[in-house]
Amino acid sequence: MNIVDRRLNPRGKALENRQRFLRRAKNVVQQAVKQSLQSRNIRDVMDGGEVSIPLDGMEEPGLRRGSGGVRDHVLPGNKTFVEGDVLPRPRSGAGGRPEKAGEGDGEDAFRFVLTREEFLNVFLDDLELPDLAKRRLAETEHENPTRAGYSVSGSPANIAINRTTRLALMRRMALRRPNPETIASLEAEIADCNDDALRLALEAKAKALAARVKRIPYIDPVDVRYRRFENEPKPVAQAVMFCLMDVSGSMSEHMKDLAKRFYMLLYIFLSQRYKHVELVFIRHTDRAEEVDEDTFFHSPATGGTLVSSALEAMKTIVAKRYRPEDWNIYAAQASDGDNSYSDEAATARLLTESILPVSQYFAYLEVGDADREFSSRSALWRLYERLRSDGAPLQIRKVGHRSEIFPVFRELFQRRQGRERVAT
Amino acid sequence: MSVVPMERLFDGADWNFGTLQRIHDACEHIALNELGLDVYPNQIEVITAEQMLDAYSSTGMPLFYKHWSFGKHFAHHEAFYRKGLKDLAYEIVINSSPCVSYLMEENTATMQTLVIAHAAFGHNHFFKNNYLFKTWTDAEGILDYLDFAKGYIARCEERYGQIAVERTLDAAHALMSHGVDHHPGKSKLDLREEERRERDRRTHEEQTFNDLWRTVPTGPGKSASDLGVERRRTALGLPQDNLLYFLEKSAPRLHPWQREILRIARHIAQYFHPQRQTKVMNEGTATYVHYRIMTRLHGMGAISDGNFMEFLRSHSNVVFQPTYDDPRFPGFNPYALGFAMMQDIERIVTAPEAEDREWFPDIAGKVDAKGDAMPVLRDIWANYRDESFISQFLSPRLMRQMRMFHLCDDPAQTEGVVISAIHDERGYRRIRRQLAREYDISWTDPNIEVVDVDLAGDRRLLLRHSIVNGCLLEEKTAAQVLQHVADLWSYDVRLQEVDAAGAVLKEHTASPRKMNRAA
């Protein structure tokens, strides 16, 4: 008999089949992910999760008998029946009375769990991200191997020669291994020696030394040291992400959905880069308030539109809780572009004087309907464009469809790439 | 039997490889010397839950080609397992030589003993000795063949693209239930030979390749129109109930690699076919064997009372049979029915009553020198399948004990469902015949044959479903399968459902899809 321990076999044997399955189910999975995004928080976009997909195109048909016709069953557990009894059929239909559970009318929906990578991949795919950016986002946290002393085990490639020979030398000296010079001089002495008795004694001594050399190896396994590496995570850093959104009545559900995706993408990006990311949600009409995520996206509010109120709120929060020295501040604003004319000067002043100097990045997303062309330029757009041409570090973008969101971040990615090139 | 005391095999629930070895040796001793079993050499593999899920999704085999449906099954099982809705099996055993049994790592020592006795001896003996397995499967060759199939399909994917291969495999899978031979052919299936044949054919093709042949003009093809219908049907080997075989041999526009894939699917279907026909016997045998071995081990003191209680608990869970009105009722539990019948046979052989002597004159009281029923049981295990086993050996006593009754649901009977037999003198034979029929694959699977091909005309393929008891095919899946047949055949396909009187009750047709046509 043979006993084999298979537990150590490489995992993920089913991975290839799973990928095939996901490829085949791509459309429905994407639909399912889209649906589940609506109900999840920005923070949770990075988690995998259970999705339920219809089995369209995923059936494995076989030639089976349908219902109908004369059916016979033998069943256990008769209690009161005698031969010839007639039992009324259940009203539901012509099917045999003891419907066999779990057979026939099986699964028309199919639930299974997507891993974090898969979920993210589908999400990013949906936004039509360039592959390079996708890889960058989907990759898991980087860890750099750094030297961390020596160890007694390791790969031969990592053998630390200096340390090993030094230890060998110490051991040889401690155990008094005769060195070659001693033996050579002894041999010379023997050669020069004329006295037989003395020579015998010397030869015995030489023999003892030779035996000692043999017993004490030049390098012993206990001497060997390897360079040890430890994986060190990237330096801990923290960032705060401000989500600003106009929630006045002119923002439609579609626009809010676009904004949500925009925030999600930024969040993924930030959490790739920073250990700790905090989210602040500020919604505004003609006055701004800090709210939780649910209120932010879902509760309705009415009023006019004053963008400066949101910026003012952000400024106070930064001053109160997020010192720019300790925090990387990112801000993302979404709006349909309305702003009252009188507010323009205040907005420009706040932005250039208080917000932009402390922010790493400020992105403005103007959301619109998918089918509508952006014909006229909105008040806010004109203002931001002017600020940009004056040299303010602003990213602005008009978005009508979710595939247009990514370009807003393009510069963010490119900057990162450039930095990395310098670093390596 | 005399009780020879034996050293305790293990204490508590923990085990290591030494324990497994001792358990195996102890079981082997009882199985070979006392029960007289004859087994393939055993290979025991310890696996994790994930690997068990893996094995689930690829029909239990340790290696299999890649296909999306296995990924689907894996995702499905995994979702259930994670939620805790479903436990995993304690073991999976493979009909191969050596006989591979997978043991879950989280089993307790008692469970490992149970599983080794059940799989490594019970199932193993059955695989090696039952006539169906002997005739239809090649235990030595199966793992090599699967390896070949996996490699072959991977190479096809490289050469012809994943999509094309997937389409062919989808079609082959849909027809797998109708891709088995029911009558033994002239030669025993040799899977190693299969692999060699395919390799030789390819080298021959490569060696004799000459591009000139492509340019040689071909004359007008010989007309087949003068062939009589009868001759045509004989030439094509019609009627043919092995659809995969027919398509592999006769589909006009398949590529050679597609034919080979159909062949692989057919061989795999054939390999699993005996298991479909022996569920009750196979599980009954294994359960009976583990029960005997465990009881004996306990009797010899190799298992403590506590561990034996643990065994009894899981054993009685395994052989639990809910009654028909229980919400848990899934149909007959093959473990319960099989085990009950094996025990019943043991009783008939060792302590027959008058009724048993009348019903089973051949086996009643036929104990061996040691007073054991094993020779009779071994003979039954070797020479029957579920259908014949039940129709021969289901005893009136067991029918009474399980309180079986026969329900007949005839749409013509408007008042309702009729109880047509119960466990009494008048009903025994009818119940037995009916239950045996439920385990007869050729009765439960729809009987579908290729009956004709219109070679002279539009090359339409004609299939016929012979209706039994007025039960038509399930329409949706039948249409899907027929679509696959049409894709393989690459011309139109018609399926007629014909009742015993010869009247066509229903007709399905399908035309090949575009992309497959591009040959």
pLDDT tens digits for range B181-196: 877 665 556 777 777 8
Contact B480, B459 (CB under 8 A): no
Q: Can you give the pLDDT at residue B5?
A: 73
Q: Are residues B467 and B485 in the same domain?
A: yes
- Host domain of residue A211: 150-228
Q: Are residues B346 and B412 in the same domain?
A: yes
pLDDT above 60 for B353:
yes
What does the radius of gyration of chain B's CA atoms come to, in whole angstroms?
26
Q: Are residues A287 and A390 in the same domain?
A: yes
Domain end residue (candidates: A195, A228, A261): A228
Query: CB distance from B321 to chain A under 8 Å?
Result: yes
Residues 6+ apart with CB under 8 A from A65: B444, B446, B471, B472, B473, B474
Q: Are residues A410 and A280 in the same domain?
A: yes
Tokens of B110: 């008692």
Distance CA A157, CA A155 (A): 5
Q: Can you give the pLDDT at residue A414?
A: 58
Kindly state whether residue B304 falls inside one of the protein's structural domains.
Answer: yes
Region B237-245: mean pLDDT is 84
Q: What is the DSSP letter of A159?
A: B
Chain B hits for A8, Cβ within 8 Å: none
Distance CA B342, CA A123 (A): 57
Kindly state whether residue A6 falls inside one of the protein's structural domains.
Answer: no
Q: Can you give the pLDDT at residue B364?
A: 86
CB contact (8 A) between residue A89 and residue B67: no
- In B99-214, DSSP assigns E strands to 99-104
Residues 6+ apart with CB under 8 A from B169: B65, B67, B153, B261, B265
CA B45 to chain A, closest CA, distance in angstroms equals 5
- Host domain of residue B408: 319-442
Chain B hits for A77, Cβ within 8 Å: 322-326, 402-403
Q: Are residues A163 and A48 in the same domain?
A: no
Chain B hits for A81, Cβ within 8 Å: 405, 419, 422
Chain B hits for A68, Cβ within 8 Å: 411, 470-472
- Site of tokens 């593999």: B45
Distance CA B115, CA B93 (A): 10
A68 compared with B445, residue with greater pLDDT: B445
Q: Are residues B67 and B87 in the same domain?
A: yes
Kindly state whether residue B179 falls inside one of the protein's structural domains.
Answer: no
Residue of B nearest to A66 (CA): B474
Q: Are residues B403 and B476 in the same domain?
A: no
Q: Can you give the pLDDT at residue A291?
A: 86
Distance CA A111, CA A21 (A): 13
CB contact (8 A) between residue A71 and residue B469: yes
Distance CA A383, CA B33 (A): 95
Residue of A nearest to B408 (CA): A72
Q: Are residues B404 and B473 in the same domain?
A: no
Q: Are residues A117 and A17 in the same domain?
A: yes
What average pLDDT does chain B have? 86
Nearest CA-CA partner of A274 in A361, A353, A357, A397 = A361
Contact B471, B506 (CB under 8 A): no
Q: Are residues A274 and A220 in the same domain?
A: no
Q: Are residues B438 and B464 in the same domain?
A: no
What ipTM, to 2 d.p.? Answer: 0.79
Domain end residue (candidates: B313, B340, B365): B313
Kindly state whether residue B7 falls inside one of the protein's structural domains.
Answer: no
Q: Can you give the pLDDT at residue A413?
A: 57
Q: Are residues A119 and A39 in the same domain?
A: yes
Contact A274, A327 (CB under 8 A): no
What total number of domains does chain B contain?
3
Distance CA B468, CA B498 (A): 9
Kindly state whether residue B210 falls inside one of the protein's structural domains.
Answer: no
Q: Considering only the beta carbons, identify the residue of A4, A83, A88 that sits closest to B427.
A: A83
Region B121-143: mean pLDDT is 90
Domain end residue (candidates: A176, A207, A228): A228
Distance CA B10, CA B413 (A): 61
pLDDT tens-digit profile of B467-518?
888 888 888 888 889 999 999 988 899 999 888 888 888 888 888 886 544 4
B211 compared with A374, residue with greater pLDDT: B211
Q: Can you give the pLDDT at residue A109?
A: 67
Dihedral (Cα; B113, B119, B124, B125), 10-degree rounding: 70
Domain end residue (candidates: B407, B442, B477): B442
Q: Are residues A253 and A300 in the same domain?
A: yes
Q: Are residues A303 and A267 in the same domain?
A: yes
pLDDT band at B226 (very low <50, low <70, confident <90, very high): low
Kindly state whether residue B3 falls inside one of the protein's structural domains.
Answer: no
CB contact (8 A) between residue A70 and residue B438: no
CATH number at residue A325: 3.40.50.410
Q: Can you give the pLDDT at residue A24?
A: 83
Q: Are residues A270 and A417 in the same domain?
A: yes
pLDDT band at B264 (very low <50, low <70, confident <90, very high): very high
Chain B hits for A65, Cβ within 8 Å: 444, 446, 471-474
Chain B hits for A23, Cβ within 8 Å: 68
Q: Considering only the beta carbons, identify the residue of B178, B403, B409 that sits closest to A71.
A: B409
Tokens of A353: 């004087």
Q: Are residues B378 and B287 in the same domain?
A: no
**B91-94/B42-47 β-pairing:** unpaired
Query: CB distance from B195 to chain A under 8 Å?
Result: no
Kindly state whether residue B472 falls inside one of the protein's structural domains.
Answer: yes
Kindly state whether residue A75 falls inside one of the protein's structural domains.
Answer: no
Q: Are residues B503 and B420 in the same domain?
A: no
CB contact (8 A) between residue B71 and residue A21: yes
Q: Can you give the pLDDT at residue A136?
A: 54
- Site of tokens 């329900």: B407
CATH number at residue B458: 3.40.1350
Instruction: Mark which residues 147-166 of B lie under 8 Å from A by CB.
Output: 162, 166
Q: Which of A20, A51, A75 to mutate to test the interface with B (most CBs of B within 10 A)?
A: A75
Q: Are residues B26 and B124 in the same domain?
A: yes
Q: Are residues A169 and A217 in the same domain?
A: yes
Kindly state whether residue B470 falls inside one of the protein's structural domains.
Answer: yes
Q: What is the DSSP letter of B31?
A: I
Low-confidence ranges of chain A (pLDDT < 70): 45-46, 48, 55-57, 91-109, 126-143, 233-237, 272, 370-376, 408-424
A and B: number of Cβ contacts within 8 A:
260
Q: Can you give the pLDDT at residue A14?
A: 76
Q: Are residues A408 and A298 in the same domain?
A: yes
- In B70-144, DSSP assigns E strands to 91-94, 99-104
Residue of A nearest to B170 (CA): A60
What total number of domains does chain A contain?
3
Query: CB distance from B301 to chain A under 8 Å?
Result: no
Kindly state whether residue A267 falls inside one of the protein's structural domains.
Answer: yes
Kindly state whether residue A131 falls inside one of the protein's structural domains.
Answer: no
Q: Are residues A222 and A242 in the same domain?
A: no
Kindly state whether residue A285 falls inside one of the protein's structural domains.
Answer: yes
Q: Considering only the beta carbons, identify the residue of A17, A76, A110 that sits closest to B76.
A: A110
Domain end residue (candidates: A228, A256, A284): A228
Q: Are residues B124 and B74 in the same domain?
A: yes
Amino acid type, B307: N
Q: Can you give the pLDDT at residue A105?
A: 37
Beta bridge partners of B406: A74, B421
Kindly state whether residue A88 falls inside one of the protein's structural domains.
Answer: no
Kindly state whether residue B232 falls inside one of the protein's structural domains.
Answer: no
Q: Can you give the pLDDT at residue B72?
A: 84
Kindly state whether residue A86 falls inside one of the protein's structural domains.
Answer: no
Domain end residue (candidates: B411, B442, B473): B442
Q: Which residues of A236-255 are buried (b: 16+ CB within 10 A; e: fewer)?
A: eeebbbbbbbbbbeebeebb
Kindly state whether residue A1 falls inside one of the protein's structural domains.
Answer: no
Q: Are residues B470 and B392 in the same domain?
A: no
Q: Are residues B376 and B454 in the same domain?
A: no
pLDDT above 90 for B6:
no
